[in-house]
Amino acid sequence: MTYTLAPMKTGRPFGVLEIPDSHFPLNLDDKIPAIRELYRRAKTTAWNPATDIFWERLDLSKYTEEELFAARQYWSRLAWGEYGAISESPALLLRYTKERREPDLSMFWTIRTQEEVRHADACRRMADALGGYMVEPVTKDLEDSVATHGVRGMSFDADTPLEALFGSLICCAEVIAFDVFRARIKTTTDPVAKQILQLIFRDEVRHCDFGWKYMEYRVPNMTSDDLAVVRNKVIWMMEEVELKGYHSSWLAPSPNVTEMESDRVVYEAGLGATVEEVEKPILVKSVQEMRERMRSWGIEIPPFEHAKMGTF
Ligand SMILES: [Fe+2]
Ligand SMILES: [Fe+2]
């Protein structure tokens, strides 16, 4: 990857925001047909959280006060997570255009952002339907675990190739979240919770696909230096984000017991959560599959260690 170099002959690139704007020639032909196809599909599968969910099927009388409170908390947290995806989105969009990437990326990403909006909206509505959306974590110290994972900062760092963001943010983090999501659908028995999860899942399939497809397109033309940065960012994402409990609180070095217990209440009520024993094998399998796919890019992802997971 070549960047505009800073003028002081330091060999350092400008930050992404300093890359001069340049719009022409603007070729809107399909450059990456696989991604253009995801864009087309995304446009035909739009859904509306207000009208496409069978809200009337939500029967609160089946649940205890404790279950409803835990579920409100849980769905509020899902909404915060989805909102995080919205807030990181423009940074990447700006990067695609600043670096004059293939327009297929920007076209797909714009719809992807709308989809994250839909997810946040649906989760917020579910929390409301369960008794009330919560605007912030009940426990103050949980705020860190729902904060962004630094992607926005990296998006503007020209030293981090875009492919390293794709590798770590999409092919690693989003794919793990997706695999856990699939399990969540299986263990959820409430019909409305299940329907929302299924609708979100349908969109997330494309989000993950998008990352893999772009990497497959780019990898043959990447330098070994850039591939090494991709590898480092994936390892960072695993060790500093995933295994520190970003998606699953039970993985945190000092897990919040209240949150874990609350997740279990939601899980046992069939209202949407998963728990440690369900997620563990999924995480192992997900990382194995990621490792295999990245090996075909010429990237060797090392084993990871975690007190609760062992070496995997
Ligand atoms: Fe989402
Ligand atoms: Fe997503």
Range of the structural domain that residue 164 is part of: 32-45+62-311
Residue 128: what are its φ and ψ, rounded to 5°?
Answer: -60, -45
The string of pLDDT tens digits covering residues 36-54 is 999 999 999 999 999 999 9
The beta strands (E) that lie in the chain are given as 305-306, 310-311
Between CA 31 and CA 103 the distance in angstroms is 8
Tokens of 75: 């769905």
Is 24 among the domain residues?
no
Residue 310: what are its φ and ψ, rounded to 5°?
Answer: 70, -155
* Residue that has been written with the tokens 């919205």 in this structure: 86
The string of pLDDT tens digits covering residues 51-71 is 999 999 999 999 999 999 999
Distance 203 CA to ligand 1 centre (A): 7
Is 4 among the domain residues?
no
Task: Report which bound ligand comes closest to the CA of 120.
Answer: 1
Distance 5 CA to ligand 2 centre (A): 33
Distance 99 CA to ligand 1 centre (A): 25
Distance 123 CA to ligand 1 centre (A): 10
CATH of residue 137: 1.20.1260.10
Mean pLDDT value of segment 240-255? 88
Tokens of 43: 């446009």
Is 9 among the domain residues?
no
CA angle 238–165–154, rounded 5-degree value: 95
Tokens of 205: 């399939």
The string of pLDDT tens digits covering residues 203-227 is 999 999 999 999 999 999 999 999 9
In the DSSP assignment, the letter for residue 8 is: T
Is 112 among the domain residues?
yes
Between CA 276 and CA 160 the distance in angstroms is 33
* Residue that has been written with the tokens 């926005």 in this structure: 152
Distance 174 CA to ligand 2 centre (A): 7
Distance 12 CA to ligand 2 centre (A): 32
Is the pLDDT score of 231 beyond 80?
yes
Position 194 confidence tier, pLDDT thresholds 50, 70, 90: very high
Distance 116 CA to ligand 2 centre (A): 6
Polymer length in residues for the chain? 312
The string of pLDDT tens digits covering residues 166-186 is 999 999 999 999 999 999 999
- Listed range (38-42, 80-84, 143-147, 192-196) with the worst mean pLDDT: 143-147
Distance 204 CA to ligand 1 centre (A): 6
Task: State residue 153's pLDDT score.
Answer: 74
Between CA 120 and CA 134 the distance in angstroms is 13
Distance 203 CA to ligand 2 centre (A): 7
Task: Judge whether 88 and 112 are in contact, CB under 8 Å.
Answer: no
Please tell me the total count of domains within the chain. Answer: 1
Task: Report which bound ligand comes closest to the CA of 174.
Answer: 2
**H helices then E strands: how many in the chain?**
10, 2
Within 13 Å, how many C-alpha atoms sit on residue 306's CB side? Answer: 20
Top pLDDT among 32 and 85 is at 32
- pLDDT, mean over the chain: 91
Task: Judge whether 39 and 115 are in contact, CB under 8 Å.
Answer: no
Is 257 among the domain residues?
yes
Distance 204 CA to ligand 2 centre (A): 5
Is 219 among the domain residues?
yes
The string of pLDDT tens digits covering residues 95-152 is 999 999 999 999 999 999 999 999 999 999 999 999 999 999 887 655 555 555 667 6
Distance 20 CA to ligand 1 centre (A): 32
Between CA 5 and CA 238 the distance in angstroms is 31
Is 228 among the domain residues?
yes
Distance 44 CA to ligand 1 centre (A): 17
Residue-by-residue DSSP string for 47-113: --TTTSS-GGG--GGGS-HHHHHHHHHHHHHHHHHHHHHHHHHHHHHHHHHHTT--HHHHHHHHHHH
Q: For ligand 1, an ion, list residues with CB under 5 A.
A: 82, 116, 119
Distance 89 CA to ligand 1 centre (A): 11
Distance 83 CA to ligand 1 centre (A): 8
